Structures are given as structure tokens and as C-alpha cells.
Structure 1
Amino acid sequence: MTKFLLSLHVLAAIITVGPITVAASMFPPSARKALAEPGSERAVSVVRLLHRICRVYGGVGIAVPVLGLATAMSMGVLGDAWLIVSMVLTGLAAMVLLALVLPRQEEILEGVGNSAASPLPPDLEVTARLAMFTGVFNLLWATVTILMIVRPGSTTGA
């Protein structure tokens, strides 16, 4: 059962976190392009699609920590320091996505998508801040990935 849960956990991480990190990273430069080309419907639709990917996969991504907890319980490693740190970092990544990345994307989308209705489209400072938050999100996930592979104190010899 442990191998099955671990396989599902890894697959869920690859299938959900991968697209979020890529789409979130592509969003700021795509938003800058949409801001630079106010009438470009294609640029706006790309930004909308990237936001939708982040939002949908972010919701489905809840499977990653759920399956991770089930796997950890099955392996009997819930009290290991590397796992606790990974869970805290996963929680922080979720908070960064929900509180900092997605709201900024929505703010930019409102300004880019409704340029006629919005007298003040989002400026480049907002996209730069979004790029920073996205970088923090990606760095948190990279750290969790490294902890999952290295597992300090593991007896597997890896």
C-alpha cells in the first residue's frame, strides 16, 4: 500500500505543481506583453489561460499534501524533521499562492481585460511584485522537492 500511495503522491505532485509553477512563471511576462499591446485579444487570452491553469491546478493540488500525509502515515515517518519541515513549507507555498499570487493575477486580469472600463491598468510594478511572489512560491516547492529526495536522516542510504 505504501508504494501505491507514494506513486499517487509523486504523480499528483508532478501533474499539479508542475503546471502551476510553469504557468505562474509565464504569467508576469505575458501580462507585461498584454499591457504593452492594449488591443491584443490574443495577449489577453494567454494571460487568462495562465491564470485559469494556476487557479484550477491549485485547487486540484490539494491532493499532493493529502496523499503525502497518507504516505507518511503508512511509512511511519510523521514525526521526522524533514517531513515536518516539508509540510510547513508546503503550507507556506499554498498561502503564497492563495494570498499573493492569485489575487495579483486577478488584479492584473481586471486591468488588462477591461482596459476601456478601467482607467488605470495595472502598472509594471504590480507585475514585478507578482514575479517576486511567484519566485518565492517556486523556491518553496523546489525546497520541498529536495527534502523529499534527500530526506535527511533517512536510512535508505540516498
Structure 2
Amino acid sequence: MTGFLLAVHVLAAILTIGPVAIAASMFPPAVRASLEDPGNHGKVAVVRVLHRITRVYAVIGIIVPIFGIATGASLGVLGDAWLLVSMTLTAIAAILLIATILPRQRHLVTTVGAGQSDDTVAATSRATRKLAMSTGIFNLLWAIVVVLMIYRPGSTTGAGA
């Protein structure tokens, strides 16, 4: 059963967190491209699609920590420091996604399609830079979690040696 739980956890992480990380990373450059060519409806559509991918896969991604906790319980490692740190970083990443990245994307989606004055473009550019920074932090948190999952301090598998 542990093997099944671990397989679902890893597959879910690859198939859900990967698309969120990629779409969220592509979003700020797509906003900038649409600002440079405000009449191009295709570029606005790209911004909308990237937001939708981020939003939908974020919801589906809830299965990653669910199966991760089930796997940790099955392995008897829920109290291990590396797993507690991983779960904390995962929670921080989730909060960042829900409280910052998705709302900022939603705001920029509505802004990009509207007629833009110079002031609006400047404000949108600032918001896009802040979003890019938040997305970078989100991706860094996930990279650290992946390293912790592979390295697993105190592991007897030899991966940490």
C-alpha cells in the first residue's frame, strides 16, 4: 500500500504542481507582452489561459499533500524533521498561491483586457513585477521541498550519504 500511496503522491506532484509552477511563471511575461500590444486579443487570451491553468491545477493539487501525509503515515515518518519542514514549506507555498499569486493574476487578467492609460500600464507593470517575485518564491519553496524529499536527512536509503 505504501508503494501505491507514494506513486500517487509523486505523480500528483508532477502532474499538478508542475503545471502550476510553469503557468504561473509564464504569466508575468505574457502580461508584459499583452501590454506592449494592447490591441492583440490573442495575447490577452494567453494571459487568461495561463490564469485558468494556474487556478484549476492549484485546486487539483490538493491531492499532493493528502497523499503525501498518507504516505508519511504509512512509512511512520510523520514526526521526522525533514518531513515537518517539507509540510511547513508546502503550507507556505499553498498560502502564497492562494493569498497572493491567484488574486494578483485575477486582477491582472481584468486589467489587461481593458483600455489602458499610461498610469494603468505603469501600475500593471509594477503589479506584474510583484507577481513575478511571488511566483519565484513559490517555485523556490517547491524546489526546496523536492530536495528534502530526495535527500531526507537521516534516511537509511543512502540518498543522503
1:7-156 alignment to 2 at 5 Å? Answer: 7-115=7-115, 120-121=120-121, 122-156=123-157
Length-normalised TM-score, structure 1: 0.96
> C-alpha separation between the residues in 1 aligned to 2:144 and 2:77?
19
Query: What SS class does the counterpart of residue 120 from structure 2 fall into?
Result: coil
The alignment's C-alpha RMSD in Å is: 1.2
How far does the alpha carbon of each residue in 1:57-91 deviate from its partner, in whole angstroms, 9 at most, with x for none?
A: 00000000000000000000000000000000000
Identical counterparts, % of pairs = 58
Distance 1:145 1:63 in 2: 16
1:120 CA drift (Å): 3.2
For residues 131 and 107 of structure 1, what CA distance do their matches in structure 2 show?
Answer: 14
Unaligned runs of 5+ in 1: none
CA displacement at 1:155 relative to structure 2:
1.1
Cα deviations by residue, 1:109-142 (Å, 9 ceiling, x for unpaired): 11112227xx835421111110000000000000
Contact 2:111 2:124 in 1 (8 A): no
Residue correspondences, number: 156
TM-score by length of 2: 0.94
Q: Which runs of 4+ in 1 moved over 4 A?
A: none
Alpha-carbon distance between aligned partners in 2 of 1:113 and 1:125, rounded to the nearest angstrom:
17
1:7-33: CA deviations, max 9, x gaps? 000000000000000000000000001
Determine helix, strand or coil for the equivalent of 2:35.
helix
**Counterpart code for 2:142:** W
Distance in 1 (CA, whole Å) between partners of 2:40 and 2:95 is: 32
Equivalent residue letter for 1:146: V
Task: Return the alpha-carbon distance in structure 2 between the equivalents of residues 5 and 114 of structure 1.
Answer: 46
- Answer yes or no: is 1:4 the counterpart of 2:4: yes
For 1:8 and 1:18, how far apart are their aligned partners in 2? 15
Local SS of the residue matching 1:53: helix
Q: Output the CA distance in 2 between the equivalents of 1:54 and 1:151.
A: 29
Residue 26 of structure 1 aligns with an amino acid whose one-letter code is M
